[in-house]
Structures are given as C-alpha cells and as structure tokens.
Amino acid sequence: MKLPLSGLWLLIFHIWLPHVLAQAKNETAKAETPKPVLRKFCSGTSNCLSNTNTIGIDKYTQLSMIYKGCKRIYGNIEITHVETKNNDSLDWSIFDDIEEVKGSVIIFNTDLQNVSFKNLRIIWGEQNACNHSVFISTNNNLKFVSMPKLRVINKKPIYIVKNPYMCYLNKIKWQELIDDDTSRLYLENNSEKCSDKKSFACDASCPSTSIGNSSKMQHCWFRGAKHCQDTYRTNCHCPGGCYKDPKDGQPKCCDSSCLGGCYGDGPTKCLACKEVNDDGVCRATCPKPKQMDFQLGQLVDNPDGKYTHFKYCVKECPEEMLIDDYHCVRHCMTGKAYDAESDSRECKPCNGNCPKICRVNQPINGLLLKNLTGCYEIDGYIDISEHYMSVKKNFTIKDLDVLKSVRVVSEWVRLQVQSAGEVLINDNIQLCYADTINWTGIVTGKPIAKNDTRSMVRIMKNQDKRKCESRMRKCDSNCDSRGCWGPGPKNCVACQHWKLKDECVQKCPEHNYYQNATTKECLPCESRECKLCTGPTAEECKLCYHVSIFEESRMTCLPECPESHYQRNDSTCEKCHDACYKHGCTGSGSSFGNGGCKKCEYALINHDNDKPFIEKCLIMNNSALDLCEQYGLNNYYATAARIEGAVELMCEKCDDECKNCTSSGRNVKSNGCACKHWAMDVQNDETCIEECKGPYYTVKDYTMAPNGLCKKCHELCDQNQDQACTDGTSAGCTECKIVGIKRRSNVTDEDYTECLSECPGTHPYIYNKLCSEVDIQGQLNLIYHTIAAILIAVFLFLGICVLMYFCRYRKTKRKLQIVELDNCADIPEMSPIDPTIRPNLNKLNLIATSELEMKTGKILGQGAFGVVYAGYWMPKEKKHGIRVPVAIKVVKDARNFEAEDEMLSEAMKMCQLRHEHLLRIIGICFHEDAMKMVTLLRPLGNLLSFLKKHRTNLGGRELLLYCYQISSAMKYLYERRVVHRDLAARNVLVKDVNRIEVADFGLSKILEHGKNTVLVETGKVAVKWLAIESLTDQIYNHATDVWAFGVTCWEILTFGQSPYQGMDLCGIRSFLRDGNRLAQPPNCSSELYQELLRCWMSNPDSRPTFVMLNERFHAFCTVPNLYYQNEKPNQDTVETGADSQTELLRELLEDTDFENPLDYFDSQTVPSSPTDSEVVGGLLFYENLKI
C-alpha cells in the first residue's frame, strides 16, 4: 500500500483504527458460502511458522480471503496456529482450486483433522522464506493430508514429523513425487496413535505397485477412492513421464518440456511445464513484449509478447507485482527501483543510489525502529502495538519521524493503541499550521461510545494564529483551503492550482509536462524527448526536442533518427525505402548514396566506362537465385557483393554477348551464357563472340538458329587473318601459317591450296608461302638486280647532265649581272600602302570660253593673285538656253605660273570632294588669256557677314546648326585625309538660312600616305585661327583644323566677333602660352564652352576628332535651349525653331540684298580680298612667319 508523502508520523500516531476488520468476524461462517471467483494468481503468504493473526479477524477468515478461488499460489500455503474450537461447521474446501504452489505447503500447530488439496499438482518449493517444500508438523489431531493429483514435489526437503494420527504416510509412493531422491524425505514421529497400522488400507481402485516377487501395495493418501494417489512413473523411465499411445497401448515418453507427466504427444499435452506455460503450450521462454525489427532498426511491440510470471506467460503482470525485464517480480533487482508515486510498476536503473528497502517480518519495537531510518519501502508489514512499544522507555511521537521517508509498504499496516479514534493536538506553544488543516477529510471514524458527543478532532492551546502569520508561518499561496502541514509549497495538504511531484505550483512547466485536469497534477510526458504534450500517451506528444517518428497515428520523440529512418527538414524521421533494409539512408529513394540508401543489402550494378557502380538497391522477395528475375532483369545475374556499398548480393549485367547468364564471363558452360550471336568452341566449352572471324570458321549461322557456332581453324592456317579459313581442314585455310602447295581436286577439277608444315622433296622451293618445283624467288632476284643496275646507270647520266646545266646557268647569270650594272636605270622604290586604297577617278569638268559669260563689271572679290567675277554658265548639252549663275575666279597675271598651279591644285581638290556642306566646283576653263575656275554662286555671302547682319533674328538653334554642319563637312575632310588650313567663318558661305557650305580650299593640303602632318614654311595664313603648334613649328594636321573649328564656333556664338581683339601677333602667342583661351560667350552654356576648350587643348592628341565633334554637336542641336540662351528679350525659351526660321525668311525676303543674282551684283560693293594686305577687315595675317 502507498502512504502519504508528508505528515506520516502524525497520521500513524493520531489516527486510531478501531478494529476495522472486526465486523467480519463469524459473519462469513454463518452466511451461505457463495461460489468463489477463480483467480489465476494469488500472492499467498511468507510468514512460515510465525503467528501473524490480525486483530478482529479469525484465522479461517484470513485463510479464506487469501486462498479461496486461487489456482496458482505465488508464495506459500501456510495453515498455522488454527484452532477448530466452535468452528466444526466451517467449509474447508477453500483449497480445492489450487493447482500449483511456487513456495511451500506448511501445516503447523493446528487442531484440524484433515486438509485436502483436490487439484494440487506441483509444489515447486522455490520460496526462500521457508526451507522446505512440504512442512507438516505438530498437528495433534491431523489424520491425513490428501493430495490425490500431486505429481511433483520439486527441490527442497519434505519434513513431516510429530503428527500422531497420520496413519497413511506409508501408503504414499514418494518416488512418484521426488523422482527417487529419498534424501529429501524426512518422516518421524508420525502415526504413533494408530491402533493397528495394517488395518489402514487403500481403496481397491487405487493403483498398486509390486513389492518383492509376488506382493503388491496400493497407494493412497487416505481411505476412499477420492484419496487414491495418481501414479505415472510406473513402468516408465522417461524423465518427463509417459502416456499410453492410443494406437498400440504402449507407453510413450512425454515431450521434453513436460514436467509431471502428460496425456498425449507434444508440448500442448503436458500436465505441467518444466520451464514456462504459454496458454497451454510448454516453452523454454515466453515471447518478449518487445522484439527487434531489423528493417526499422529498433525494438517494436510484439503482438504475441508476454511477461514471465513464475512458470507462466501472462499478458499483464498482477497488480501487486512489479515488472523487471519482461518478468513479473516482487522486488526489483539490485541497481534498479520503481517510482511508487507514479502509475508505472516498471523497474528502472537508479540514478545514483537506489532507494533503501527495509525488510520487516515482525511487529515494530523500539530497537527495530532505529533501523528503519531512511527507508523508502517496507518489505513486510508495519505493526505498531502498545505491547511492543512499551519496551522502549519514554516513547514519544518524535520517535516515529524515522517513518517519514517510507513511501511503500508491501503487505499491511496496523496501529493498535488505547484511544477511541480521536485527534488531539494541544499545549504546543510553538506549533503552527495544525489549525489550518481540514481534518474532516482525514478522520472519518466514529466515537466508540454511543453517547460520546466529543469532536473527533480537537486543536487547542497551540501557537496563536496571528503570531504565526506575523512570523510568516502560514501556508504557501499555492496551498488550497484544506491547509498545510508546514511552510512552503511541499507541505500542502492539497494544491490550489497544480501539483508538480511533491510541490504545489501555480502552473505546470511549459516543456515536458502536461496538466491532468482530473488530479490537478503536472505529469511528465511519456518521453524525455517530448517537449510539449497534452497527455501521458505517446499519441498525445505534440512537439519533440530533437526529432519525431510517426508509426501509424503514433508519434515517438527521439534524440536522433534511428538507422532505419532519415531526418527530413521538418525534424521528422521518415522511413527509409524497404530496399535499404537495416543499413540506413539519407533520403526516401532506393538509389545508393545521397538521397538514398547508405548501403545496399541487394544492389543493381551498372558500368560507366567499364567502372562498376551501384544504380539502386533491390528487395529480395524470394530466393537469391530469383533476385534479378523479380525485377525483369533477364540479362543480369546474382552474385556475391564485391564492391563498396553492396552487402550481400548484387545483380550485375551479363556480358554484352550473352542474352542471359549465371555469372560473369562469356563461356556457355562455365558462366551459363546464352549467346546472342556466335558460340565459339574452345576446350570443351563454348565462348560467345560478336563475329565469327579471325582463326574461326562458321559451322552454323546465328540468323538460322538461336545462336551461331564457330570452330577453330586448322593449326596450319594463318591465325592472324580476319577470315583465316572456311572449314576445319588444312585445305580450307585462307592463308597458310608456314607453307602451302597447290593441288587439283579430283572431284571439282579445280585448284586448291593445302597447308603443310614443310615443303615436300618434289617442290623444294618456297615463294609467297607456296612450294614450287622451280626457284621462282631466285629468278625474280636476278631480274630485280638487272633492273636496279639499269636504273643506277640512268640516274648517274641524268645527274651529270643536271650538274653541267647548273654550271652553265651560273656562268650565264654572272654575265647578265655585269651587263645590268652597266645599263642600270634610276627606278624609285615603291612605298608600302594600304592595298584597299584606290586612285581618285573623279572627272574634272572642262568648260569652253564660249560657255561662259563673265560680268567683268561685277567683281565679287579679289586677292593678290586673282579676281572673282559674277557670270553665267551656259552648258551646250542643255537645250532651251539654260543660264546658271556662277562665280568665276580668274588669275590676274597669266604669266604667274605659280598662281595658275595653285588654282589648278585647288580645283582638283574641290573636284575630288562631294559633300552637302562643301562648296561644289562646276569646272575649269583653260583660256589663252588666263585660267578660270567656275563655282556655284551663293548670293547670301559668307557666314561672318551673315551673322553680323542678321544677329537679331538668329537664335541658338541656327547657331548650333551652323556649327554642326561645319563639323559634318570637316568630318568628311578628316576621313579623306584633307587638311583645310584656313577654316574660319569668312570662308563659310550661306546657301540658305538652314544650310551653309565650307569653301576656299586654296590653302588646303592632302596628307600623304603614311604621314599625319604637313609642314608649310611659306605662304600667308590667318594667325588668329592657328593652333599653338602651327604658330611655333608651322605644323598642320587634323588637330590644327580642330583648333580652327573651335575658333570658328566661337565666332558663330558671338555673332562674328573678332577673336583676340586688340592683340598683335606677339600678344596672341604670349596669351596662349600662358594658358589663356578665348572667353566663354555670354549666352553659351558651360557644357558647350567645355567642348570648345577641348578643341584648344595644348596637346594635339588630347583634342577630339571631327567624328567625336560631329556626334557631340548633333546632340547639342537636339535641345539647343539647354546649351545656348537666345539674345532676343521677348523670345520665349520654348520657341520652336520653325517660328524663328519663319521670322528670318520674312526679313531676308524684305532685305534689298536678297534678290536675283543679276541685280545683286549691281547693288554690292566689291569687298577686298583677305590676302591683299597684312591687316584687312580686322584680320591679322603673316607671311613666312617663324616663331
């Protein structure tokens, strides 16, 4: 029984148990005996010979409660100290159902006349408390003890003494019971009061055995047929007993697992089992509740498992038994213990020291009480009686503190004092807490006296309650209204909220515990690995600490996945594929390696570049021979594992030439190979091959049969040939290995070759492995030698001829070199140029004088060497009298050949160039008076004058457009390797408002191939447009044109202002060398001015090319308002170019200068040529300037 966890001493000493069992006295005997309820197992007793009467209950009632209806007694049958006075009518059939006794049968000091065990078959004698299997002694009135069905008294001695009326002991055949081991039998001082021992005879129906030669003795326990002894060893020498075979009536040995005989063959026919009885089947051991599942790699529930309870297999151990390694036991083995406060009865290894177990088999006295200190379990009983405790002087309640630690009492507790069942606590001046306890739930007894009106509980004259509270001696807040035994949450009578082990708490731990709403307890989850659960079973675990495994609807928490499972990303263990068996896996697949099995019990093998590898794991359902066929792998064979990862067997592919096989190789017999194509006959076996060639010939074609058959050619055939023979004879060889001889067939009259090991004497010579009568090889050698001699002679002759020719050639060559040196001409060396360059094939238009009408009175301009007149060109090819207005440039002095050469050079350059923004030449006229160059007439004049005159009507769009068109024309010249040298606003003509043309190519130069610059040391050029390197070294190239382009753009953006105003030549040079440049125009953006500065970089290589400038100014033209601010104050910043252009056209149409070219010449004054003087119109020039 379990005792309370706290306050045990107070209950033991102050709760008086007033004869609880006394009410049952005599009532059992008087009432009608009901039919007993059969019990498979009963504990019995283990008191041996001691008298352990319970106060208030008689001996018969005790025996009836213990043994009535029991079939198997786990302990002893102890009938001791029984008095039959006033009990003559008692029914002593309470032992009739007992079949087995684990311990002993003890009948001691009784007044009984007889005791019967009608169905008792085996006395095992294994109870340690008593040292006998049968102990019958000191029974003065006992006449017999009847055990008619007893078969075996096992192990310990049989002690029967001092029973004066037991007269039938000599009628018992003890050899039947103890297997001739008479040393265990001890009989003395029995049947002393039997008057005539010979008159005590057995019933005639009792079995008998022979004594001596003729006499026989019957065997019984007492007179009457029902007391006959059941004998089974007579005429049987088998250790387990015999039975009569129903076929022939002969005795046969019982099964080896039987004990005490049997009634048929096999372990199911035994009367008792030598080892264990499993539902009528004798076995060596019981099937264990847990069994190993090798595929899962863990213990699983065994549906047929049972526990071993003595000699029987049971599904559940009796309630009073513990469970220790699948056995039902009374005590845990050393090193193990069970938790008496939990519902589990399983013995588990102790964490540290095991709880102390004290064995008590006598009433507690003062001396014994000292030895019970620290006991967790009392193996026995607690009997606290005044008689025994009076031995200890000055006994106080404090002496019972040693029982505080007791949690389990294996038998019973009895308290016997003189009180009437009251609780009295008084005169304890330091005692608190006693008045907090609700005693009505603890003390349920009634006063002994009927008229006693006193309260069962009286608490008085203890410490004042207010003083207790002021000293904080009050119940913990977690205790409920029923009070507490002391301070802290561990001394509560009951908990206010929840109970965690011995302590009351406000709430249960979040992890590894659940709340039992019925008992208000915090109970641990089934597994320590369970982090969160809602109940005690594994199915109620909701969250695990590490990993979980699901089996059907049950979740089990584990520290890690078993070998038979793999861990998924969600911390659950998933079962490996069945093909992995017990080897574990890393995924759900049946493949080998990552995501599949770690090893394969049975593996499918394939090859990669002749290297074997495991393709996947297999499952063997039948035999190993059928492993591959189960998966339809007909061209595979099963073999022992021999590569890493395969354990038992593996299916490996047959050779490519086998349809199926039994092992690795191509041999038909040795490897069981069924050939796909050809079978080659080799040394009493056949080898499969792909083709029947080489030293083999075809016997049977494989296309006409399941497989073809090849045989080896004759040994005299040349084995190295692709087709060495056609049959197996020496005459069937394609080529002979040594020699052959030509023969003629008598059947076909055709020649054939027969291979021989050597030539016969009739054909001693060999030629091409053929025997011959004549020496063919000798004749051929003679011919070869003759031909070789002739060829050598021919080659010698030819060599002499070649040598003579070579000598003559060298002599002639030397003569020619001498003649060539004497007549050598001056031929310039050719310069290497790009082979893709082609000559300029543009045609220069030659104009006759008759086609020109020159207005000598209308001079457009003049210079140092020539005059420009207005006129008409009247081409003869055109009809209707077309007259084209033109500008005609005439050399002043026809004798100035240098001027005419420069004009011709300019005309040729203009003829080569074709661009929309370059002035187009019409042609040239070679007149006897002077050379004339004819170009198109542009009446709007040059850009410089145009900007100054129409400044108010020109905006940023037009100005940037002019810059962009000039860059486009210069880009064209750059790509044609032309350096202009005189780019300025004055040399740009206005075709219309939106189009300008670059003109005046008089100073331009074409760069020679292979050169990037040109050096000009004479002539006149405009200084203000020159780059620094041109001022210092007279160097001109595309980079100097870029400088001039920047100055020209500056002129356009400032509406024709003169650059470097007020500076002379030396001032400009110093200004530029000091790092100065033309200032930023007022309306010009910083981005646009930055582009001008890039054109004026000191290092020519740092300046942009015209390709880059063309792209940049194209971008400026797309959004001109971002880069130039118009001067007109009333012009909106978002005014379109079309509006500005319309205004400009209107002004030009109203302008008197914008008229027909014929009238235009009359109204214009002739401007001076920019080369007439050193300073003309504000332009500064120099001649032969060197710095």
**Do the beta carbons of residue 19 and residue 57 sit within 8 Å?**
no
Q: In whole angstroms, what is the distance from residue 1138 CA to residue 750 CA?
A: 110
Task: Write the single-letter amino acid at 113.
Answer: Q
Euclidean distance between CA atoms 285 and 188, whole angstroms? 40
- Give the tokens for residue 1167: 């401007």
Q: Scan for tokens 């300073």, then name that residue.
A: 1175
Which residues fall within 8 angstroms of residue 60, CB to CB, at 6 or more apart? 28, 29, 82, 87, 90
**Cα–Cα distance for residue pair 169/215, rounded to 1 Å:** 19
Active site residue 982: yes
What does the block give as tokens for 296? 């899962």
Q: Which of 718, 982, 1000, 1041 is catalytic?
A: 982
- Rounded to 5 degrees, φ, ψ at 1110 are -60, -45
Non-local (6+) Cβ contacts of 1087 within 8 A are 1122, 1123
- 1110 SS3 class: helix
The CA-atom distances, in angstroms, between 600 and each of 607, 785, 899 are: 17, 76, 105
C-alpha 514, offset from chain centre: 35
CA dihedral 174, 176, 180, 183 (to 10 degrees): -30
Contact yes or no for 17/48 (Cβ under 8 A):
no
Q: What angle do CA 1049, 1052, 1056 make, to 5 degrees?
A: 125
Give the sheet arrangement for strand 77-80, strand by strand.
77-80, 105-108, 134-137, 158-163, 185-190
Please give the Cα distance from 478 to 500 (Å, whole number): 11
**Which residues share a beta bridge with 186?**
159
Q: Please check whether residue 578 is in contact with residue 295, taking contact to mean a CB–CB distance below 8 angstroms.
A: yes
Residue type, 889: K
Structure tokens at 18: 């007033």
Is 889 labelled a binding residue? yes
**Of 898, 847, 890, nearest to 868 (Cα)?**
890
Beta bridge pairs of residue 152: 122
Instruction: Answer whether 407's CB lies under 8 Å from 2's CB.
Output: yes
Establish how many alpha carbons lie within 13 A of residue 352's alpha carbon, considering only the half-sphere containing its beta carbon. Answer: 2
The structure tokens listed for 504 are 């009351």
CA quadruple 787, 789, 791, 794: dihedral sign: negative
Three-state secondary structure string covering 1140-1179: HHHHHHHHHHHCCCCCCHHHHHHHCCCCCCCCCCCEECCE
Amino acid occupying residue 222: F
Q: How many CB atoms lie within 10 A of CB 1020?
A: 17
230, with CB counted inside 10 A (0-12, 13-18, 19+), is middle
Give the whole-angstrom CA distance, residue 291 versus residue 353. Answer: 30
Query: At 1122, is the secondary structure helix, strand, or coil?
Result: helix
Encoded tokens for 723? 């087709």
Contacts 24+ apart (CB under 8 A), 570-578: 571/544, 571/546, 571/547, 572/547, 572/548, 573/547, 573/548, 573/549, 575/296, 577/617, 578/295, 578/619
SS3 300: strand
The tokens describing 342, both together, are 């939990």
Task: Report the run of H or E that residue 779 belongs to, with start and end.
Answer: helix 776-822
Whether the CA torsion 696, 698, 699, 700 is positive or negative: it is positive
CA 717/CA 735 separation, integer angstroms = 6
Catalytic residue positions?
A: 982
Q: Which residues belong to the annotated binding site for ATP?
A: 889
Q: Which residues belong to the annotated binding site?
A: 889
